[in-house]
Structure 1
Amino acid sequence: MGSVVKDEEMSPPVKKLSSLRLNSPLAQVSLIGVVCFCCPGMFNALSGMGGGGQIDSTAANNANTALYTTFAVFGVLGGGIYNILGPRATLFAGCSTYVLYAGAFLYYNHYKHQTFAIISGAILGVGAGLLWAGQGAIMTSYPPTNRKGTYISLFWTIFNLGGVMGGLIPFILNYHRTADSVNDGTYIGFMAFMSAGTLLSLVILHPSKVIRNDGSGCTNIKYSSVAVESAEILKLFLNWKMLLMFPAAWASNFFYSYQFNNVNKFLFNLRTRGLNNVFYWGAQMIGSVLIGYVMDFSFKSRRVRGLVGVGFVGVLGSVIWGGGLANQLRYERDDKPWDLDFKDSGSVFAGPFVLYFSYGLLDAMFQTMVYWVIGALANDSETLSRYTGFYKGVQSAGAAIAWQLDTQKTSFLAQFITNWSLTTISYPLLALLILLAVKDDDDEDDEQSKQKKADESISLSKVG
């Protein structure tokens, strides 16, 4: 009988060819990255304009409140729905709601009725919960255990390239316009990308068909039932691991309303906001690659790598938020918007621009770090879909409140202090979670080997 060849022992040409298979983890993670490039990537670019590209942020704030309220519910339920329906139906249903949302702002551009935007936001929250639960399961369960940070950063890079491209759309189409709201072509461009992403989601394979380069399956997932998933989802709220992760989840989208509306929209004019988003989401690509390297390659021990990663993001975050405080003390909500243009010379433009760029860098590093921790808590897609669903649900509940705080005209400084405090609280709790729950690679390999032998013994006994 032939021996099984380990992935590390394969010759480079064979390894490269095997990685290009449609059913390889690399191909599937890349595909879900492209899907998110087209759908949430373009949504991020639209939101990053501040006010959904409108002069008045009220409609966008209310739509986002509705969005993240339903997202909070279906983010938690999304993992269970994914385990019942499988990836294609779940992702297709989720992606289709993004097109409706962009179309609602195209409608608002003409009629200024926010009801459609709010309803479409609520529907998008349902769809986003489905999409991100499926995305999280794919991104955290398919990669080899010692390369999860690399695969997460790969996804984050592809996904945020959508934000970069999406930032170019309003920058180019509104370059010579003096109006404060984007034109129809901007929304139509977003809708075209979102439609393409919806169709591409049908190429995603079921987890049982995805095979790693060493010939092993990524997960033993089977179609679940409503009763099983309902019980497992309820258990998450009593799971000590999820409770330690709760502050990080709550904080991870809370700062978007502040950064998009109170920094980008308040400080810059329309065309420069689009350009800023190119660099904001570009910074996310850099940040995800950087922290992915730290989490996968900095030290031999996986637990040590995790702790170093959390410490690194914590220190950098303190520096960036400190710079943000210095900037925020220069203006208040009642002040006249600055309307800075990218052609303005000197530090007048450069300082706020670098700060906004740094916010994007920190966002990606923070979220990649959290996803790495989630991925280190388990390996099977079924469990990780629930964990990531819980993460996205809590994240969205925080975001819903954040958008409404801005609608209620909460002071810029109060929002800033809240954001900095929430992220700071997260770091020691994530470090504790890593110490208590994350196993080193060798320990996990031993456990998987024992489980494999146990499964083989059971199979032999059944044959006998």
Structure 2
Amino acid sequence: MDPSKPKHDNEVHETADHAAGTSYVYDGGLVDEVDEAYLRAPKSTRFYRGVLFQMILFGALSFVGPAMSDAISNLGGGGLSTPYLANMATALSYMAGCMITIFGGPLINKFGIKWSCMIAAVSMPLAGSAYYVSAKYEVDWYLLFARLLGGFTSGFLYVAETAAMLSYPEPNDRGFYLGIWSAMRNSGSVIGGAINFSNNYSRANAGGIAWSTYLIFVGFECTGVVWAIFLSPTGRVRRRNGSRIPMPSNISWKKELVALWRHLQRKKTWLVSIPAFYSFFFGGTMGTYLSLHFSVRARALSSLITPYLPYLVMFSTGYWTQLSLYWILGTFSTDVGSSSRSGGLFRAFETAGQAVSYALNSKTGADPRIPFYVNAAILVVTVPCMVFLIRLVPEVPATTDIDAADVVVHEDASDPDRK
């Protein structure tokens, strides 16, 4: 197939039957789809290698990492006395995350999902410790450095967990496993909010939160390495019926980048960019508003509950539609290679939106109405993009790496020694 030939996003590729006993190409060779040894293994082994336990571990990583970081951000300005330094640090973090997630597909396909999560887990305690050092000792450079470094490493987790959520479950089970991950991640924000309020409920004045609050978050973040260690390599993960996870072929860095470029050229990639960009755009605007206009106690309470009906509606529908967007992404491919690129670009657009949101709110004396105007304008553009994206959902998701397949086939055709 000519590699320059454009692809159709709604094209359904022929795939092998998923019934027990059928076969397909797995990691470069033809193997049985169902692992009979796994089905005969003890129940504890099947649970440990199963998709359910992997999703629980991803949920735990999100619980102690991004969720705890969000709980600090939900205080408004990271709980500091003024929001501008924290907003700048958060903008740097998401900018760094965006740079990693753009190339997240090739990186995850080379390092693997487990080791990518390990990289992210090691740096999780930097977030809480940076705010603690800034609040107590006024060492601002460490906050900026820690958030920047944490942004680079968090990018690995963003892509790894998204790739796993899109490729590990069977298509008819994906909603169930997405629900488990989302529930654990969001419960982390709730528990983080409870920590904020329990430590600061008596502080009715303006200013920063109690320093000890950050140390509790550091304790949670330090457990991230434990959950990452328990993850199974993708090649050892099995679905409920014993089937293996479709794995990408072992291609070079050059061909990975070519496959990423092909993915960027797809219509669905650009349609999903606007909803992804907008999905968490409210963070910087809301956090700055809380920091400038509410006391420490009110900010701590707001991180536990949403005080106004509009916020309640925004959060509930936001989490619901965010899960729908992940489900739509999963319908375009179920193999790890293509899912890594889809997830990486999705999280790149998402973190870019968060970086812009916090950057707009990092300048002292800026008109606070501008972020609200930008937020409303992006919402108007998001709606038609979602409509067109839904129309591209295929009848059957592809189980092969639709981006890299043509690259490998074209190379084989041009190199007769690779027969």
Range into which the TM-score falls when normalised by the shorter chain: 0.7 to 0.9
In structure 2, the partner of 1:153 is: 179
Q: CA deviation at 1:19?
A: 11
Given that 1:18 and 1:213 are in contact with CA atoms closer than 8 Å, whether structure 2 keeps it comes out as no
Normalising by structure 2, we get a TM-score of 0.80
Q: Does 1:424 align with 2:366?
A: no
Letter paired with 1:425: V
- Residue 65 of structure 2: which of 7, 20, 39 is its match? 39
In 1: Cα distance, 2:294 partner to 2:21 partner: 57
Q: Distance in 2 between matches of 1:388 and 1:272?
A: 36
Contact 2:114 2:234 in 1 (8 A): no
Percent of residue pairs bearing the same amino acid type: 24
Mapped to 2, the partners of 1:383 and 1:218 lie a distance apart of 13
Structure 1 residue corresponding to 2:316, chosen from 361, 364, 387: 361
Q: Deviations over 1:260-305 (max 9, x none)?
A: 222x33454222322322235xxxxxxxxxxxxxxxxxxxxxxxxx
Alignment pair present for 1:125 and 2:81: no
Cα deviation code 1:357-377 (max 9, x no counterpart): 222213212321221111111
Any idea what SS the aligned residue of 1:205 has?
Answer: coil
- What is the distance in 2 between the residues matched to 1:429 and 1:375? 17
* CA distance in 1: counterparts of 2:100 and 2:237, whole angstroms: 26
Of the candidates 349, 357, 360, which is equivalent to residue 394 of structure 1? 349
Instruction: Please give the alpha-carbon distance, in whole angstroms, between the structure 2 residues aligned to 1:424 and 1:147.
Output: 32
Does the CA-based 8 Å contact 1:138-1:381 persist in structure 2? Answer: yes
Question: How far apart, in 2, do the equivalents of 1:130 and 1:176 lie?
Answer: 39
Q: Deviation of residue 63 (structure 1)?
A: 0.3
- CA separation of 1:89/1:223 partners in 2, compared to 1, >3 Å: closer, same or farther? farther
**TM-score normalised by structure 1 residue count:** 0.73
Cα contact 1:50–1:260 (8 A) shared by 2? yes
- Structure 2 distance, partners of 1:225, 1:399, is 32
Report the CA distance between 1:93 and its aligned residue.
0.9
- Offset at residue 412 of structure 1 (A): 3.5
Give the aligned partner of residue 360 of structure 2.
405
- What pairs with 1:1-400 in structure 2 (closer than 5 Å)? 4=20, 21-178=47-204, 180-221=207-248, 224-262=251-289, 264-279=290-305, 352-400=307-355
Tell me, in whole angstroms, the C-alpha distance in 1 between the residues paired with 2:155 and 2:165: 15
Q: Any stretches of 5+ residues in structure 1 without a counterpart?
A: 7-13, 281-351, 452-464
TM-aligned CA deviation for residue 356 of structure 1: 2.5
Shift of residue 188, structure 1, vs aligned partner: 0.8
Secondary structure at the counterpart of residue 407 of structure 1: coil
CA distance in 2, matches of 1:114, 1:101: 13
Structure 2 unaligned regions, length at least 5 = 1-18, 23-39, 403-419
Letter of the 1:435 partner, please give it. Answer: R
Higher RCO (CA-CA < 8 Å; seq separation 6+): 2
Distance change (3 Å), C-alpha of 1:261 and 1:448: closer
One-letter amino acid of the structure 1 residue matched with residue 262 of structure 2: K
Aligned partners of 2:204, 2:256: CA distance in 1, in Å? 52
Change (3 A) 1:359 1:268: farther
Amino acid at match of 1:362: T
SS in 2 for 1:213: coil
Q: Aligned pairs, how many?
A: 362
Specify whether residues 148 and 79 from structure 1 end up closer, same or farther in structure 2 by C-alpha distance, changes over 3 A only: same
- What SS is found at the alignment partner of 1:149? helix
The root-mean-square deviation of aligned C-alpha atoms, in Å, is 2.5
8 A contact 1:54–1:182 mirrored in 2: yes
Q: CA deviation at 1:242?
A: 0.5
Contact 1:20–1:26 at 8 Å: present in 2 too? no
